[in-house]
Amino acid sequence: MTGKDALIVVSGGMDSVTLLYDMKDSIAMGVSFDYGSNHNAREIPLAEMHCRRLGIPHVTINLGFMHQHFKSSLLEGADAIPEGHYADANMKSTVVPFRNGIMLAIAVGLAESNGLKRVLLANHGGDHAIYPDCRPAFIAAMDAAAVAGTYEGVRVEGPYTGLTKADIALKGKALGIDYAQTWSCYKGGERHCGRCGTCVERREALAAAGIDDHTEYDD
C-alpha cells in the first residue's frame, strides 16, 4: 500500500470504473453503496470484480434506509424510470436526494478510519444539469467539510468534474477498459434497455470516443 492514500467510491458504472483504472496506483480501497436502486444489483458485482482484478480491497455498505424513506424514480422499479435523453427535464425524477452527500460522508469516515487522505468521486460535467450533488460547488463544499471535520484533513476530490462522459470514455479507451464490463442502465434489467437517459448517454459517449459498443441492449 506504499504511496496509496486514496479511497474511491466505485459504483461499477463507466465513470467510476474509468477513475479506478486511471488512478489505481494511488487507490488503497474501493467502496460501493447499496441503497436499493433498480441497478445496484447489476453495478456492484462489477465494482467488486474490477477492484479484485486490480488487487484493491473493496467493501459494500448497505444504505437500505434510503430505499425505505427517500423519494426517487430510481428507487421505485424499472417502469418508473423515464426514457429519453439524459439532459431532458424528466430525468430529474431519478435524483436520490443528497445521495452523494450521504455516501461521501461515510466514505470520508471510512478513509480516516483506514489512514487514508483522499476520497475520490467520479462525478462529471454531464451530471451538473440534473444532479445538484455532482456540481463543482457541492464537491468544493464537501471537501471543505471533510477537511474541517477530520483530524487528518481528509480531502474530497472529483477529478472528472469538468469533463464530459465522452472525455471519460476517451480516457478509458486509452486505458484499454472493456466498457461491456460496466453497467449504466437505471432500469436494472437482464440487459441495458438502450432507451433510458443513462443508456442514451452511454451510447453517445462511446460513439463520440470511437469505441465499438459491445453492450447488450434490449433494442
Phi, psi of 26 (to 5 degrees): -115, 0
Tell me whether residue 55 is exposed, middle or buried, using C-beta atoms within 10 angstroms of its C-beta: 0 to 12, 13 to 18, 19 or more. exposed
Looking at residue 92, its pLDDT comes to: 84
Q: For residues 134, 137, 139 and 143, what is the CA-based torsion angle, rounded to 10 degrees?
A: -160
DSSP 114: T
**Single-letter amino acid, residue 28:** A
* 15 annotated to bind ligand: yes
Residue 160: helix, strand or coil by DSSP? coil
Residue 215, marked binder: no
Q: For helices 99-113 and 136-149, give the axis angle rounded to 10 degrees.
A: 30
Length of the chain counted residue by residue: 219
109 is annotated as contributing to ligand binding:
no
Contacts of 201 (CB under 8 A, 6+ apart): 85, 86, 126, 165, 184
Q: Is 193 annotated as a binding residue?
A: yes
Consult the annotation and say whether 185 binds a ligand: yes
To the question of whether residue 51 is assigned a binding role by annotation, the answer is no
**Residue 199, annotated ligand binder?**
yes
11 labelled binding-site residue: yes
- Taking each continuous run of H as one helix and of E as one strand, the counts in the chain are 7, 5
Instruction: Name the superfamily (CATH) of residues 6-208.
Output: HUPs (3.40.50.620)
- The tens place of each residue's pLDDT in the chain, 219 residues long, gives 468 999 999 999 999 999 999 999 999 999 999 999 999 999 999 999 999 999 999 999 999 999 999 999 989 988 888 886 655 666 788 889 999 999 999 999 999 999 999 999 999 987 666 889 999 999 999 999 999 999 999 999 999 999 999 999 999 999 999 999 999 999 999 999 999 989 999 999 999 999 999 999 997
Q: In 84-157, which residue ranges form alpha helices assigned H by DSSP?
A: 99-113, 136-149
Q: Which three cell numbers stand for residue 1?
A: 500500500
Region of residue 57 (phi > 0: left; psi between -120 and 50: alpha; otherwise: beta): beta
The response to whether 19 counts as a known ligand-binding position is yes
Q: What is the pLDDT of residue 62?
A: 98
Residue 30 annotated as lining a ligand binding site? no
16 marked as binding residue: yes
Asked if residue 184 belongs to a known ligand binding site, the reply is: no
Per the annotation, does 10 bind a ligand?
A: yes
Question: Torsions phi, psi of 30, nearest 5?
Answer: -115, 145
Instruction: Give the pLDDT confidence score for residue 83 in this predicted structure.
Output: 82
- Asked if 157 and 121 touch (Cβ cutoff 8 Å), the reply is yes
pLDDT (0 to 100) of residue 128 = 61
- C-alpha distance across the termini of the chain, in Å: 44
